[in-house]
Amino acid sequence: MKEINIFDKPRNVKILLTLLFGGCLALLIVNFFAPKHSHFPWEEWSGFYAAYGFVACVTLVLAAKHILRRIVKRSEDYYD
C-alpha cells in the first residue's frame, strides 16, 4: 500500500505556499514601520539583510563549485 504524504494533495501545497508568501509579505510590511537600531548607516536600508544574505549564499555556492571542488575532488580511479 502506498503511503500518502500531506504534500501529495495539490490543495495542501497551495495552502502552504499561500501561508509562506503571506508571511513574507507581512514581514516586508513590518520592515518599513519597525524601528531599526543599527550600528552602521547601510543597515538601515530597507532590504539590506535580504540582499546581504542572498549575496553571501551565492558567494558560498560559487566558491564551493569553483574553488573547493578542485581541492576536494578525486580522480575516478582513486579507490582502485
* Per-residue pLDDT, 22: 98
* Per-residue pLDDT, 80: 73
Please list, residue by residue across 36-73, b when 16 or more beta carbons sit within 10 angstroms of its beta carbon and e when fewer do: eeeeeeeeeeeeeeeeeeeeeeeeeeeeeeeeeeeeee
- On whether the CB atoms of residues 17 and 23 are closer than 8 A, the answer is no
Give the contacts of 6 (CB within 8 A, at least 6 positions apart).
Answer: 12
Give the model confidence (pLDDT) of 19-49 as tens digits.
999 999 998 888 888 888 889 998 888 788 8
Does pLDDT of 14 surpass 90?
yes
Does pLDDT of 16 surpass 90?
yes
Please compute, for residue 19, the number of CA atoms within 13 A of its CA located in the half-sphere on the CB side: 6
User: Where are the chain's structural domains?
Assistant: 1-34, 38-80
Decide which of 34 and 62 is more confident: 62
